[in-house]
Structure 1
């Protein structure tokens, strides 16, 4: 029985549109250009921040992030960034007695913004908070600590095979791959994902039936 559900952030509970559009505007390139580059580097197995380095070779991403914050153009997350099924799905999971944790590869600032949305979750943490990022084993060790459940009773939900599904399974967790966002759609029918994922879903609303099933 699933006792804890842990959810990725980007393209699982939030859309990434605003994030990459803000970077494109800051760097002065067309939004579609940066979006296409992000897709290209990720499918090559590279970090998505490499797209910024293609646009501006030699960029210090951390320094540029701080410059954006100082200029009042830093990260923003509000209700409009959430997928429509997030609040009802998480509310139903908690009604069923499931512990709900949100844990993804985001900055500490993004974690603050998410916590400010008063989502129906028991805990919201980010890789920036932990100092460990997916797919590092250390990230999933922390996931198990905060899950407060056995690995086989913990379900990790995400869209990205390399960052979410494969390392979650390697850590002994159950895994649900969501067909959402570019990576979720791109790899939805990949044989490796089909073999690794315990469940493949299209909406977070399907999680309740997994828990009670």
Structure 2
């Protein structure tokens, strides 16, 4: 995927990463939800893809299989029976540690912040990622795409908005709201949203860089130092 760069903005001092499908491959989690609903895994993922392609909220996927499905209630039920959300080192994309380490070696502040539960935040912190901070929407009490989420990103990073690159796989939750908040953006083409959103013209309009992997971003930022 071609790199598209825009000049005239501040020096990059911080890079903050989304979580799902940016750092964490969510294949296993999608599978466990399919199992919980009692539907074939490939069927669940196919419906998820259709929902994304239609521009609908991914939560509507659950309604297809179980009308009236309450995601938060079902999450609690899964925890009660010992089947709560879980991920670990094998679920990280292979370039995560090398990219985050490479950025820190250049003196760039590295953050992780996405729409995740407090439980997911604890798991992320237990992985000892090479990051200066890790936060979730539950931790902050505000979710993307709300501007308040990106205000917290800027506040936590402690640098100007245009000195931060927010990296994500979605137009709606990542690129568009980050841009509105004055951050620079990098779009990574992977996961369901990445591949479905990847060919949309908004990606070029809203991202400063378009990458296929996180190590590419390390190279771009190194070239600006």
> By the TM > 0.5 criterion, same fold?
yes
Provide the rounded CA distance (Å) in 1 between the counterparts of 2:138 and 2:152. Answer: 13
Instruction: Tell me whether 1:29 sits opposite 2:34 in the alignment.
Output: no
Q: Which residue pairs with 2:115 in the alignment?
A: 105
- Shift in Å at residue 44 of structure 1? 2.2
Provide the rounded CA distance (Å) in 1 between the counterparts of 2:77 and 2:51. Answer: 24
Provide the rounded CA distance (Å) in 2 between the counterparts of 1:157 and 1:28. Answer: 34
Provide the rounded CA distance (Å) in 1 between the counterparts of 2:43 and 2:109. Answer: 40
**Contact 2:62-2:69 at 8 Å conserved across structures:** yes
In the alignment of these two chains, the number of paired residues is: 213
Task: Name the SS for the 1:19 alignment partner.
Answer: helix
Unaligned 5+ runs, structure 1: none
- Shift in Å at residue 148 of structure 1? 1.1
Point out the more displaced range, 16-25 or 184-193: 184-193
- Shift in Å at residue 16 of structure 1? 1.1
What do you get for the CA RMSD once the two structures are aligned? Answer: 1.0
**Contact 2:52-2:196 at 8 Å conserved across structures:** no
Provide the rounded CA distance (Å) in 1 between the counterparts of 2:199 and 2:43. Answer: 27
Instruction: Tell me whether 1:54 sits opposite 2:64 in the alignment.
Output: yes
Instruction: Tell me whether 1:189 sits opposite 2:199 in the alignment.
Output: yes
Q: Runs of 4 or more off by more than 3 Å in structure 1?
A: none
Task: Name the SS for the 1:200 alignment partner.
Answer: strand
Point out the more displaced range, 39-48 or 26-35: 39-48
Point out the more displaced range, 58-67 or 80-89: 58-67
Q: Which residue pairs with 2:125 in the alignment?
A: 115
Aligned pairs for 1:195-210 (under 5 A) are: 195-210=205-220
Provide the rounded CA distance (Å) in 1 between the counterparts of 2:97 and 2:180. Answer: 29
**Contact 1:188-1:194 at 8 Å conserved across structures:** no
- Shift in Å at residue 53 of structure 1? 1.5
Point out the more displaced range, 90-99 or 40-49: 40-49
Provide the rounded CA distance (Å) in 2 between the counterparts of 1:10 and 1:153. Answer: 23
* TM-score normalised by L of structure 2: 0.92
Provide the rounded CA distance (Å) in 2 between the counterparts of 1:194 and 1:176. Answer: 10
From 160, 174, 184, the counterpart of 2:170: 160
Unaligned 5+ runs, structure 2: 1-10
Provide the rounded CA distance (Å) in 2 between the counterparts of 1:53 and 1:25. Answer: 15
- Shift in Å at residue 187 of structure 1? 2.0
From 137, 142, 146, the counterpart of 1:132: 142
